[in-house]
Structure 1
Amino acid sequence: MAGLILLAAQVSPAQAELNLLNDQALSGISGQGGIYLSGDISINEDGGPIQNTYFGSCSDTTKRCGARLAYQLKEGGGWMVLDDIRGKFSFEGLTLRVRKIDSGFGGDGALFNRDVLEIGLPNFVRYDSVTFKLATSSTARPTDPGFQQTDIFSVEMQGDVVLEGNLLVFPTGNP
């Protein structure tokens, strides 16, 4: 029986041909889009001197070391920042897709009726020697004129975490 299956596989190989589709033909095709990501991200994880100085050298304690994520809560308002982010993050199963919100959310979904970015949280995230500061800042960048920052607290983490659900990123402004 196995010989017959092997013979059949040799006699009729699978063939696929790519064809151009016009707009009318393409409109009749549906599918599911998105991205599935797995990987490692390392940012100055060892805390020592590094070859790539993009995130700064951690050996000079008078300068910043690590990545910075700044977000403004409202136009013209102050900035919340995650600063001096260092460590190694590993993840498997992070997904990205566009999702239409046109219902739910206590009736606000129908009023919103727009696309959002949906980040599907993965099966696991592992982090090693991760540190960062949560702070408020007068500017997005430390190099901007008038920069002042108030550190609220520092975080150090080790271990594994299981994340579930989705993170929705809503656009701002008019559609």
Structure 2
Amino acid sequence: MNYSPVARCGAYFWFVCLLLMPFYANAELDPLADDALSDVSGKGGIYLSGDVSVNEVGGPVQNSYFGRCDEQDKKCGARFAYRLKEDGGWLVLDELRGKFSFEGLTLRVRSIDSGFGGDGEQFNRDVIEVGLPDTVRFKDVQFKLAASSTARPIDPGFHQTDIFGIEMQGDVIMQGNLLVFPDGNP
């Protein structure tokens, strides 16, 4: 079953909310007077920082294709496959592994009702805004970009052509926002 990126983002958002709920369940709310409230400003959303390690020694799936990183005849790391057309081939990130660190990734809902050369007024809906962190640190990150005949290497008729391999080390400066538009018609 395929879910849209917006549906996946929504699921992650609710999962994070459920994780944080026990911390706020015991919070006490005090009313603010109008004069005190006029001095308060804020924004809704989520601010995230973290370290994400992906398959540093090999993935959890071990079969004829995937294995531990010390097995020379096996592939090591995660695999992400995206089908470009309904009856077309697959774009693949294969053998993904390493560590990503970031601080300041933000998530919030933003209303688009103007801008975009007048298209915003026609759209007039909410989108998910992902605020990119200032710096992302990469440690021993590796992956291959490939074209594949199937999503999984164990599927019948599997054939993959590796386009190029990437190794990343160090810091990348990121600025701006990524807007995730919902599927469907407004």
Decide: shared fold, TM above 0.5: yes
Q: What is the CA-CA distance between 1:40 and the residue it aligns to?
A: 0.5
The residue aligned with 2:93 is 82
Aligned-pair CA distance for 1:17: 4.1
From 147, 151, 173, the equivalent of 1:162 is: 173
- Matched residue type, 1:97: R
Residue 130 of structure 1 aligns to a residue whose secondary structure is strand
- The aligned amino acid for 1:125 is V
> Is it true that 1:123 corresponds to 2:134 in the alignment?
yes
Residue of structure 2 aligned with 1:63, choices 71, 74, 80: 74
Identity of aligned residues (%): 72
Q: For residue 144 of structure 1, what is the aligned residue in structure 2?
A: 155
Partner of 1:53: 60
Which one-letter code corresponds to 2:119 in the other structure? Answer: D
CA distance in 1, matches of 2:160, 2:175: 33
1:170 Cα deviation from its structure 2 partner:
2.4
Number of matched pairs: 146
Tell me how far apart the structure 2 counterparts of residues 69 and 128 of structure 1 sit (CA, whole Å): 20
TM-score by length of 1: 0.70
Structure 1 portions without partners, runs of 5+:
1-15, 20-30
Q: CA RMSD in A?
A: 2.6
Q: 2:44 aligns with which of 28, 33, 46?
A: 33
What residue in structure 1 maps to residue 11 of structure 2? none
Distance 1:98 1:61, change over 3 A: farther
Structure 1 residues 133 and 32 mapped into 2: Cα distance closer, same or farther (>3 Å)? Answer: same
CA distance in 1, matches of 2:113, 2:91: 30
SS in 2 for 1:53: coil
Between the aligned partners of 1:116 and 1:144, the Cα distance in structure 2 is: 36
How far did residue 57 of structure 1 move?
1.3
Structure possessing the higher radius of gyration over alpha carbons: 1
Sort the Cα spacing of 1:110 and 1:72 in 2 relative to 1 into closer, same or farther, 3 A: farther
Taking a change above 3 Å as real, the CA distance of residues 160 and 17 of structure 1, as seen in their structure-2 partners, is closer
Residue 111 of structure 1 pairs with residue 118 of structure 2: no
Partner of 2:146: 135
Give, as a single letter, the amino acid of the residue that structure 1 aligns with 2:102: F
Task: Report the 3-state secondary structure (helix = DSSP H, G, I; strand = E; otherwise coil) of the residue aligned with 2:91.
Answer: strand
Q: TM-score, normalised by structure 2?
A: 0.66
Q: Distance in 1 between matches of 2:113 and 2:87?
A: 30
Q: Tell me the SS of whatever aligns to 2:122.
A: helix
